[in-house]
Amino acid sequence: MTSGSQGEDADRELIQRWKAGDSRAATELVSRHADALARFAVSAGERSEIEELVQDTFVRAFASIDSFRGESSLRTWLFTIERRLMLDRRRSERRQRTTVPVQPADAVTEFDALDSLLAEEAESRVRKAVNALSPMQREVFSLRVEQGMSYREIADVVGTTEGAARVHYHNAMRAVKEFLSE
Amino acid sequence: MNDCVNAEVRDALPDLLHGRLSELDTATMKAHVESCPDCRAELEIMRQVQASAIIAPRMNAAAIAAAIPPYAGASVVRHAPSRERIFSHPLTLRIAVATALVAIGGWALSNVRATDEVRQTASTGSAIGTVPENAASVVSPSAIEPSEASTTATGETQVASLSLVETTAGLSDADLEKLMAELDGMESVPSAEPQEITITDDDFGISDEDSLR
């Protein structure tokens, strides 16, 4: 019921151009996906060094571009890499014990000023409802609603099955509705 | 707030929100949403979620792209371990050596037992039926060659091979002693327990560097 092969074809062509030595193709690829990666990072609870995270994601992806077989879209593959980097970050933070594990509700970061400007939206009931979800539900819900990914793509990103991603999404939507109706 | 009974439509609501549907599906979905209050409410929640999302900082695509190193060519794809690599793995090597030692030990032990039975048969003059079938194959060629001491007056020879495959009852004490001496002198039969065998990496053509990997 969905379509997105045109964008995937464009990604494949850009990858070939970059391999052939066209550095502008890399810039174009970054332009196509960087903002989505930043949004995903923020929705997953990241608040600091977002651009560094996105940059690391692209550097890793381009370094192993030959392992990208095109079985999923490039964006899905990038999200998968970024998610692993976020998990590594959190593990590292837990080991160092210098920071509290990132939680959207209580993170104190360099984006505080921006957050305060958006306080009205961030503190809206619907955002609170989303923040009350379990980490997996919130991740799946964000990928489905905010990123518009298919269940297949979500399953690839979070490392689960398509059916499990569907169940997580519907459970999340049910929880949000219950929160809002209280 | 209830759920629409049409699960397929509910599943596709985020796709409608993101414009990921075909023209026909979009028209069908919009017609359904207009007539379904549950789907309208769910779609509204999704719009609120999008609107309330914390705005991510804008990315500097040029700066990010500048950090990407140029394409270095096709990377080497590692396939399954080659035949040479199998023995470079410490555990595999240990298993291979242990298996070889067990096989060699078992073979040597079976030969020792067969020899013992031959000795017992020869020394006690037991019945032919007790001689193992493979005993003849264990005896060295020298054991079946005629000897001067066992030559009879008629010119026929009572050789060790006959004494093994037929009977030892007719042999004199001197013949039996000679037979025993010849059996003791056979080189192909181990005279004791199998000796320990040491197998090194060189036997497999493995260098020290390989064994460290």
Rounded mean pLDDT of B68-75? 78
Cβ contact (<8 Å) for B67 and A55?
yes
Contacts of B60 in chain A (CB under 8 A): 51
Q: For the full predicted model, state whether its pTM sits above 0.80.
A: no
Helix then strand then coil, % of chain B, to nearest 5: 60, 0, 40
Whether B10 contacts chain A with CB within 8 A: yes
Q: Which of B17, B64, B70 shows the shortest C-beta gap to A58?
A: B64
Q: Which structural domains are found in chain A, ordered by start?
A: 1-104 (1.10.1740.10), 124-182 (1.10.10.10)
Within 8 A by CB and 6+ apart from B137, the residues are none
Q: Is the same domain home to B30 and B95?
A: no
| Cβ A71 vs Cβ A152: under 8 Å | no
Domain boundaries, position B134: 87-185
Q: Kindly report, residue by residue over A143-152, the tens digit of the pLDDT.
A: 999 889 999 9
Rounded mean pLDDT of B11-38? 93
- Reported as a pLDDT band with limits 50, 70 and 90, residue A119 is very low
Maximum Cα interatomic distance, chain B, rounded to a whole number of Å: 126
Backbone CA torsion sign across A178, A181, B1, B7: negative
Residue B139 lies in a domain: yes
ipTM for this prediction: 0.75
Residue B104 lies in a domain: yes
Quote the tokens at residue B67.
């950090």
Cα A179 to Cα A167: distance, rounded to the nearest angstrom: 18
Q: What is residue B198's predicted lDDT score, i.e. its pLDDT?
A: 66
Cβ contact (<8 Å) for B50 and A146?
yes
Q: Is the same domain home to B44 and B120?
A: no
Rounded mean pLDDT of A96-109? 51
- Number of structural domains found in chain B: 2
